[in-house]
Amino acid sequence: MTVLMHDAKQALNVNPAYAAHSEAVVEELLYADDTLLIHSDAEVVRVYMDCVKQAGQNYGLAFNWKKLENMPVRCVADFFSPNGQEIQRKGSFKYLGSMLCNSGKPGTELSCRLGAARKEFDSLCRVWSHASLPRDKKLRVYEACVVTKLMYCLDTIWLNKAEIGKLEAFHHRCLRRVAGIQPSYISRVSNEAVRSALHTQPLKNKLLERQLIYLGSVASRPAGNVLRDFVFNPGNITLRAAHGPRRKGRPRAAWAKKLHAISMQIAGNEASLASMWEGTTASKHAWERAVHAHCKIL
């Protein structure tokens, strides 16, 4: 499939419809045969689809038109199969296990993660009801089986206050089950007391720590890396400016902008932050320690 997409991209590069729109950083995401084509111009996507179709014929492959999906983002874009049938248009779809929405909001993905984590925790509770396990072992199993499933890749999105509240509410309900403490309206035991008894932190602190470390790993990638070029300007750690018209209303909290501001607060200044992000392995370990200390006292 990688060879097929290489041939398709070469055919796209020489197409006149693509020449005026070649400034995009990312134009396709490929994993096995699950391919996601991305562009700001619908005509380029149509041409790219034709190139993929033609390249696939050379290898005996063809589109499964029933599985193709179209998700326009703040635009109108219609695509059709060879028999004239419109490719189904959706506001969201799953790609590699994650829910992508044309609104750019992570609420749907978070709800799916919470549902899957709740199902996993309920299964653990049924097992625990037939076994005698100490509280510390239950906590380790909960963190290994439930928290890791819930937090997987959440470090790549920014959650607002309400979404953080949902995350924490689920976490504290689970901690109370692990500790054998009734809900607060019955036991009058606060969430802080439950966490103190189990010697654990709020999930928002763990999430922020993972986000900051991940941002540092992106900044330390070499020049020409697609992910680094998408977030940072070449040659420094200043954020890449957003392109295109700004949406109406209050500006939405941006993942990179929020984390960069917190990173500057931790490091003190841009020079110190650059030395930790782009320096030696020891410097990167120093950044991880600084992040851990910052998140621990929140």
- For residue 249, the 8-state DSSP code is S
pTM of the full structure: 0.85
Q: What is the pLDDT of residues 220-279, one digit of tens each?
A: 999 888 889 889 999 899 999 877 677 777 777 889 999 999 999 999 999 999 999 988
| Interval 48-67 mean pLDDT | 90
Say yes or no: 96 and 145 in one domain.
no
Task: Identify the H or E element spanning 37.
Answer: strand 34-37
Q: Select from 57, 72, 101 the last residue of a domain.
A: 101
96: tokens are: 């590699």
Count of structural domains within the chain: 3
For the chain, percent of residues with pLDDT exceeding 70: 96
CB 113 within 8 A of CB 150: yes
Rounded Cα–Cα distance for residues 215 and 156 (Å): 9
Say yes or no: 276 and 254 in one domain.
yes
How many CB atoms neighbour CB 212 within 10 A?
23
Q: Select from 77, 101, 125 the last residue of a domain.
A: 101
Q: What is the pLDDT of residues 67-106, one digit of tens each?
A: 899 999 888 888 998 888 899 899 888 888 788 888 888 8
Lowest mean pLDDT among 27-36, 145-154, 175-184: 27-36
Rounded Cα–Cα distance for residues 83 and 110 (Å): 38
Q: What is the pLDDT of residues 197-219, one digit of tens each?
A: 999 999 999 999 999 999 999 99
Say yes or no: 48 and 74 in one domain.
yes
Say yes or no: 88 and 30 in one domain.
yes
Say yes or no: 6 and 97 in one domain.
yes
Say yes or no: 84 and 117 in one domain.
no
Say yes or no: 163 and 211 in one domain.
no
Range of the domain at 112: 107-200
Please, what's the b/e burial string for 187-211 (b: 16 or more CB within 10 A of its CB; e: otherwise)?
A: eeeebeebbeebebebbbbbbbbbb
Say yes or no: 168 and 254 in one domain.
no
Q: Select from 71, 101, 131 the last residue of a domain.
A: 101
Query: How distant is the alpha carbon of residue 16 from its chain centre?
Result: 34
Instruction: Give the DSSP per-residue string, 72-141.
Output: -SSS----B-TTSPBPPB-SEEEETTEEEETT--SHHHHHHHHHHHHHHHHHHHHHHTTS---HHHHHHH
